[in-house]
Structure 1
Amino acid sequence: MDNTQTHGKYISWPILTLMAFVTVIGFDDIMYNFKNQGMTVITSWVLMLFLYVIPYSLMVGQLGSVFNQEGGGLSSWIRGTNGEFLGYFTAWTYWAASVPYVVDSANSVVVGFGWAFTGSGKFQDTMSNAQFTLWTFIIFIIFIIIQRRLANSMEFLSVVGGGMMFIMTILFVVLAFIGLAKNGGQMATKPMTVHTIIPNFDLKYWTTLGMLIYAVNGCELIAPYVTQMKKPQREFPKAMIALAVMTAFLTIFGSFALGIYFNAYHLPNDLKMNGSYYAFRALGEQFGLGDTFMYIYAWTSVIYMCALLAVLLDAMTRMLISDTGDKYMPEFLRKTNKDGLPVNGYILTCVLCAFIMFLGVFLPEMNDIFNWLLNLNGIISPGVTCWIFYAFMRIRKNPEKYPSQYVFIKNDKLAYLVGFLLLAVTALATILGIAPQDVTTFSHTWWYELVINIVSVVVLIGLGALLPSIRRRELKYGTAFDRSQWYLMIGLVAFSVIFDVWLGGTKIALRLVYIVLEVIIALALLVVIAHKKPRQN
């Protein structure tokens, strides 16, 4: 069925492909997974593209077509298939998944500035974890303050930075292969055989699957544009196939290009944090340009990450407050100033970001903080992606109720099965991703990261489950809590966080005490939130 839009306002499939490509993959995504799996990631990318990315993208297309009147947002898909509460909770989890991403982006800004000004990673040796966290928080606060004045400029810079990042990535891949030919086929990864790219599908491999999913998700952002195509039934699959081809080129050849400059059998420990800068420095040296490429990439990264950070801080808070309405979101979080900005929403964002940063500050090194935050995204982001497959299963279970211009797999039972399989794989990757990465298994740091992974997920997701109860208290009593109750809850939470941090240095036997104590604290908070009536002033 053709759309009824006026000719000239349709979005062509090549344009939609480019829009989706920007949201799906970037140079850092390739670097992160190269560090996790080495050259075997090439096979992983091939499997992901055909078994995950293509069906995932086509499912998003149908969901966007079904709910085109609601803007095609993820929470609207769940709201339309499962009701208001799950719609709210989806919006919350989508927002919660953005919190580690924002902190990670602020970390990347600090690292980018360091390379842009010093031309090396030596500044990291002189910066303590506390200083790294402090600078991250300062940058975070600066962008909270200035985002209102520079929001439009930052969106423009995001486009510029994103375009430059895309060009730099393509440039690296192309020049790396030219350099390989120029160098007689000599590469850092030796020996290079078929076995070099075949993964060992053990438990360690499956724990890194979440980072692969984190790298390729995000195409749900282009869902609202499906119905703006002239013939979505024909053109949308073309766009997604083209997306897969472009992503395949960048991930497969990009990973191989990294193997030219890095020995995949012995990768640097700080590759996730500094690998991109090492790569462009090596590229420049090979072509006799010194650090030119490295500096260009460093400033490109700074521009892009600064713009992304400012836009995210504003957009994620506004989205949460506006999308959940007054039924489940407490009134004090929906409070706005004279300019219509959700001030308390920004404060909540700051508090949760500070909480995440505080948990990481006690890790051994700055590199550990960066890697942990990145891997935390590999837990929460795939978890949110599960909502997409769940919504798809719901619309294919009741196809008469959810008509669509574009349909992925005409057979409803087969489509439902495909949705279920992707949901199961994504859920498994989320659960296994809780196991710490980049550290020695069962070491002191491994146990500490495991604890703060669980704590982070429970706090970020659990808070969303508590907010509707707080809203009900506002409606029932006129105010959610009196001053003494606020002090009690803040004290319990602060004690829990301090205890979590202290636990990082304890013996394994005390972890049973930790579990019991955390359950008691959680029950105490539930009593205050659900049962204890506030005093009226």
Structure 2
Amino acid sequence: MFIMSMLFVLLAVWAVMHGHHIATKLFNWGAFKPSFSLRYFSTTGLLIFAMSGAELAAPYIVQIRDPKHEFPKAMWMLALMTGFLTIFGTLALAMFFNAHHIPHDFKMNGPYYAFQLLGESLGWGKVLMYIFAVVQAIFMMAQLAVLLDASSRVFAGDVADKYMPKWLTGKKDKTGRPVHSYTLTCGLALFLLLLTGTLPNINSIYNWLLNINGIISPYKTCWVFFAFVMLRMHQDKFHSNYVFIKNKTGALIMGWWCLIFTFICATLGFIPQEAEATFGSAAFNHQLIMNIITVIVLFGLGFLLPWLRKREEKREMNM
């Protein structure tokens, strides 16, 4: 997928150099100046969602040949790749789409439109769009596999016995992965799909599922920053071969700033972002209720599982 994104940027530049008309006038102050509004700030959670996800690599760190040196390099490479594609990918998209007249289904079908327009501009027809569709299908299946596997490995981590009920971590397959944790993950996915059944069309469903990531992912990242702050506050009790910021004061300032900023962005994400969901409308109230229910269920489950484990321990002690 990274190769396809790079290919799009390079071919977009080549097309413009050979006479393609730029849809959005890029190089003026108005093009770069954001329109500050409540709706604008409600999308900042999606920015964090786009940049987060590296924590999914945590269960695989021990499998790296030299975690102390290779893991930091991998994170720097990930940050550089993401930053490059975010900046230059946005500029490339602006060459084919008018920023003031974006298609209503752009979040769902934007990449396909982009490769279709690029192919037509180069005289290749829809070939690039079909190639991208195949790559996208493979990418989505691989991403789903990694998400399920990484989430399940968290349940099987070294603290699973302390915080997870035995019925969730007890039964394991030949590779040591907890079978019931996969079932739980699939059940949560089914819950979200059933919840989206109350939305009017597939475009609304896709947009809501994308937007809910702008709430859940930043809130999840808040726990990462909170853990970072707590570890640095008590760093004398822990040892690590790799330290991101060696100065304790600087690390705490960075950690608290990231935690507070991320929490604010996640909270603003509750505000429905779709054009038809104007404040006070039925669509606005509907999506707001869905956002609240989803957060309560997902994070409520995160508090429920350790509580169930404590009850199990009490029963075991009384037996």
Common fold by TM > 0.5: yes
Give 1:466's match in structure 2, choosing from 301, 304, 309: 304
Map 1:379-528 → 2, pairs under 5 A: 379-439=215-275, 440-442=277-279, 443-477=281-315
Tell which deviates more after alignment, 167-176 or 348-357. Answer: 348-357
1:298-377 mapped onto 2 (5 Å cutoff): 298-336=133-171, 339=174, 342-377=178-213
Partner of 1:295: 130
Give a deviation string over 1:154-181, Cα, whole Å, max 9, x none: xxxxxxxxxxx11110010011011111
Note the C-alpha offset of 1:344: 3.2
Instruction: Give distance in 2, aligned partners of 1:472 and 1:366.
Output: 42
Distance 1:243 1:474, change over 3 A: closer
Query: How many pairs does the alignment contain?
Result: 308
Question: Which range is displaced more, 260-269 or 404-413?
Answer: 404-413
> Which of 108, 130, 148 is the aligned partner of 1:273?
108
Q: Deviations over 1:269-316 (max 9, x none)?
A: 100110000000001101111010000000001111122223433442
Q: Which moved more, 1:311-320 or 1:376-385?
A: 311-320
1:475, distance to aligned residue in structure 2 (A): 4.2
RMSD, matched Cα: 2.7
Could you tell me how far 1:201 is from its partner in structure 2?
A: 3.3
Q: Secondary structure of the equivalent of 1:229? A: helix
More helix by share: 1
Does 2:64 correspond to 1:228? no
The residue matched to 1:261 in structure 2 has which SS? coil
> CA offset at residue 348 of structure 1?
2.4
Cα distance in 1, alignment partners of residues 201 and 82 from structure 2: 33
Give yes or no for contact 1:380–1:430 (8 Å, CA) kept in 2: yes
Q: What letter is aligned with 2:104?
A: N
Deviations along 1:168-202, one digit per CA (max 9) or x if unpaired, are 10010011011111116x21114752111111333
Task: Verify the 8 A CA contact 2:24 2:98 in the aligned structure 1.
Answer: yes
Change (3 A) 1:345 1:220: closer
Question: What does 1:93-108 align with in structure 2 at a 5 Å threshold?
Answer: none
CA distance in 2, matches of 1:321, 1:435: 35
In the aligned structure 2, how far is the partner of 1:393 from the partner of 1:464? 20
Between the aligned partners of 1:310 and 1:199, the Cα distance in structure 2 is: 37
Residue deviations 1:393-432 (CA, integer Å, cap 9, x gap) = 2233344444555544444223211211111100101111
How far apart are the structure 2 equivalents of 1:304 and 1:338? 25
Instruction: Tell me which amino acid in the other structure corresponds to 2:225.
Output: F
Q: Distance in 1 between matches of 2:211 and 2:160?
A: 32
Deviation at 1:241, TM superposition (A): 6.1
For residue 240 of structure 1, report the CA deviation from its aligned partner. 6.1
Q: Secondary structure at the match of 1:269?
A: coil
| Gap regions ≥5 residues in structure 1 | 1-164, 479-537
For 1:32-47, list aligned pairs within 5 A: none
Q: Percent identity?
A: 48
**More deviation, 384-393/458-467:** 384-393
Q: Partner letter of residue 189 of structure 2?
A: C
Superposed, 1:11-410 pairs within 5 Å as: 165-183=1-19, 186-190=21-25, 193-221=28-56, 224=61, 227-229=67-69, 236=72, 244-336=79-171, 339=174, 342-410=178-246
Q: Which consecutive unaligned segments of at least 5 residues does structure 2 have?
A: none
TM-score by length of 1: 0.53
Q: Which amino acid aligns with 1:351?
A: G
Query: 1:415-462, CA deviations, whole angstroms, 9 ceiling, x for partnerless residues?
Result: 211211111100101111111122332221221111011101101110
Contact 2:26 2:32 in 1 (8 A): no
1:481 corresponds in structure 2 to: none
Structure 2 residue aligned with 1:76: none
In structure 2, how many angstroms separate the alpha carbons of the residues matched to 1:307 and 1:382?
A: 23
